[in-house]
């Protein structure tokens, strides 16, 4: 769905497909027919944005096989879908039985990460709608912190090399596709404030900027005012992942055990800044029960109970509620439906509920749907 901001810019709303386990083109096409198309029709929207997640083998296939890419493009058109952003954080097997820390490899110290990102850029240039101003690709914030005892120097060089290729592609296709670094708890860059400093040091703000994940922002107890640092550092916010963290308060915290599961890493932070790298029984015993905890667990956006939905509302207001849109790519990212306790909604209905909730927030902030 598209919205018109009061500054005249077009704000794209999409949902991220990394909740689906497809690893090849056949699976990707099937998920578009099975989920994205029905979601669009159920909402009655003329077009639905999808933030595609393409595992590395699929990205390589599409980047090197024009017929395969044409098939994907025709499928998107037939289902009334458009793509302006790709999720380039997970490399592959994101819905495997156990993901945990594997999601951070390869990182920006490894050549595979650079090659994967360039494949995504080549694909996105050919998928962008003719009237889209730009494209974005979110990526991991260098990597998991323990992999970088000597600093980010080699990773910096790899990112700058990608920026050079992105500039070349923009010259070929006539508009930019940009890389958006996504801070995450436990990584080299955990916060938006830290990410802005790290990206500013790269010195290529036209090609590499930030991806704000609202769940990560809330988990780190950063609030929406941190977006004021975008102008300070002169770094663009090329993508926002609209997401909702798990909030833990009160004397009874026994219910939290239901959210400790083996597939994904769920970092936990408490209000004073201390935390643990995953949610398990030991973590719950180690943290201070007198403090509020927040968990990197992507909760449905339309769920207010035990979530950071108020912080998400504030974040959306800071990003698109003012006289200027700070970002134009909003991608709903709730990849945890397969492990969410008590989940009984059909997935098409669940996705539509989140998109409908987000669209309502945008309209309350003064954005006008483009029909």
215: in domain: yes
Cα-based distances in Å from 334 to 16, 18, 198, 302, 308:
8, 8, 27, 11, 14
pLDDT (0 to 100) of residue 371: 79
257: in domain: no
Buried b vs exposed e over 167-199: b needs ≥16 C-beta within 10 Å? eebbeebeebbbbbbbbbbbbbbbbbbbbbebb
d(CA 328, CA 148): 32
340: domain CATH number?
A: 3.20.20.150
Residue owning tokens 């990410």: 195
291: in domain: no
User: Of 265, 320, 228, 272, which Cα lies nearest the Cα of 4?
Assistant: 320
**Could you list the residue range(s) of the whole structural domain that residue 329 is in?**
2-250+302-369
pLDDT digits over 55-65, tens only? 999 999 999 99
Domain count, the chain: 1
pLDDT (0 to 100) of residue 273: 93
281: in domain: no
21: in domain: yes
Residue owning tokens 């509302």: 313
200-107-12 Cα angle (round to 5): 60
Q: What are the strands, taking DSSP E only, across the chain?
A: 2-4, 10-16, 48-51, 81-82, 85-87, 135-139, 177-181, 208-213, 237-242, 244-248, 268-270, 275-276, 293-299, 329-332, 368-369
pLDDT digits over 58-105, tens only? 999 999 999 999 999 999 999 999 999 999 999 999 999 999 999 999
Residue 9 carries which DSSP code? P
29: in domain: yes
200: in domain: yes
**What angle, 0 to 180 degrees and rounded to 10, lies between the N-to-C axes of helices 66-78 and 111-127?**
50
Could you tell me if 14 and 5 are in contact, meaning their C-beta atoms sit under 8 angstroms apart? no
User: Of 95, 92, 28, which Cα lies nearest the Cα of 57?
Assistant: 92
Can you list the residues of the chain whose pLDDT is less than 50? Answer: none
285: in domain: no
């Amino acid at each position: 769905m598209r919205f018109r901001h009061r500054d005249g810019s077009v704000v794209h709303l999409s949902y991220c497909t990394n909740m689906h386990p497809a690893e090849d083109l056949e699976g990707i096409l099937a998920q578009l027919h099975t989920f994205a198309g029905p979601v669009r029709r159920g909402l009655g929207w003329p077009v639905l944005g999808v933030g595609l997640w393409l595992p590395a083998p699929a990205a390589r296939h599409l980047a090197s096989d024009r017929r395969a890419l044409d098939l994907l493009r025709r499928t998107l058109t037939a289902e009334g879908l458009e793509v302006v952003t790709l999720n380039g954080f997970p490399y592959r097997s994101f819905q495997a039985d156990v993901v945990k820390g594997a999601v951070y490899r390869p990182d920006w110290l490894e050549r595979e990460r650079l090659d994967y990102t360039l494949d995504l850029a080549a694909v996105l240039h050919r998928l962008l709608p003719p009237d889209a101003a730009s494209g974005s690709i979110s990526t991991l914030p260098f990597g998991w912190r323990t992999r970088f005892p000597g600093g980010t120097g080699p990773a910096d060089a790899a990112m700058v090399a990608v920026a050079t290729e992105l500039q070349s592609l923009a010259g070929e296709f006539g508009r930019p596709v940009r890389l958006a670094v996504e801070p995450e708890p436990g990584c080299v860059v955990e916060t938006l404030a830290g990410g802005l400093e790290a990206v500013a040091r790269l010195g290529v703000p036209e090609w590499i900027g930030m991806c704000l994940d609202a769940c990560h922002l809330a988990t780190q107890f950063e609030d929406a005012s941190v977006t004021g640092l975008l102008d300070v550092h002169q770094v663009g916010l090329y993508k926002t992942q609209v997401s909702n963290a798990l909030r833990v308060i009160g004397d009874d915290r026994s219910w939290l055990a239901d959210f400790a599961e083996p597939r994904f890493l769920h970092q936990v932070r408490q209000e004073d800044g201390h935390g643990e790298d995953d949610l398990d029984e030991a973590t719950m015993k180690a943290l201070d029960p007198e403090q509020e905890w927040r968990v990197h667990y992507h909760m449905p956006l339309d769920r207010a109970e035990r979530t950071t939905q108020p912080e998400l509302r504030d974040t959306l207001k800071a990003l698109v509620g003012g006289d200027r849109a700070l970002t134009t790519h909003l991608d709903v990212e709730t990849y945890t439906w397969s492990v969410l306790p008590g989940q009984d909604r059909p997935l098409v209905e669940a996705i539509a509920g989140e998109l409908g909730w987000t669209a309502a927030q945008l309209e309350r902030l003064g954005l006008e749907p483009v029909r």
